Amino acid sequence: MHLEEMKKEINELVLEKGFYNKPEDIPKKLLFAFVELGEASDAWKKGKSEEEIAEELVDVIFYVLDASRLACSTINMDEMFLKKLEKNRQRTYQYGEEHRQKGK
Ligand SMILES: [Mg+2]
* pLDDT in the model for residue 26: 97
- Tens digit of each residue's pLDDT (9 = 90 or more) over 19-32: 999 999 999 999 99
Query: Predicted confidence band at 104 (pLDDT cuts at 50, 70, 90)?
Result: low
Give 64 Cα–ligand 1 centroid separation in angstroms: 13
In whole angstroms, what is the distance from residue 47 CA to residue 53 CA? 9
In a domain, 84, yes or no: no
In a domain, 86, yes or no: no
In a domain, 34, yes or no: yes
Give 95 Cα–ligand 1 centroid separation in angstroms: 29
State what percent of residues in the chain have pLDDT above 90.
86
Which CATH number fits the domain that encloses residue 71?
A: 1.10.287
Q: What would the DSSP string read from start to end of 15-74?
A: HHHT---SGGGHHHHHHHHHHHHHHHHHHHHTT--HHHHHHHHHHHHHHHHHHHHHHSTT
By residue range, what is the domain housing residue 37?
3-78
CB-CB contact of 77 with 61 (8 Å) = no
Give 54 Cα–ligand 1 centroid separation in angstroms: 10
* pLDDT in the model for residue 102: 76
The pTM of this model reads 0.87
In a domain, 102, yes or no: no
In a domain, 18, yes or no: yes
pLDDT higher than 90, residue 99: no
Count of the separate structural domains present in the chain: 1
Give 25 Cα–ligand 1 centroid separation in angstroms: 18
Give 73 Cα–ligand 1 centroid separation in angstroms: 24
In whole angstroms, what is the distance from residue 62 CA to residue 51 CA? 16
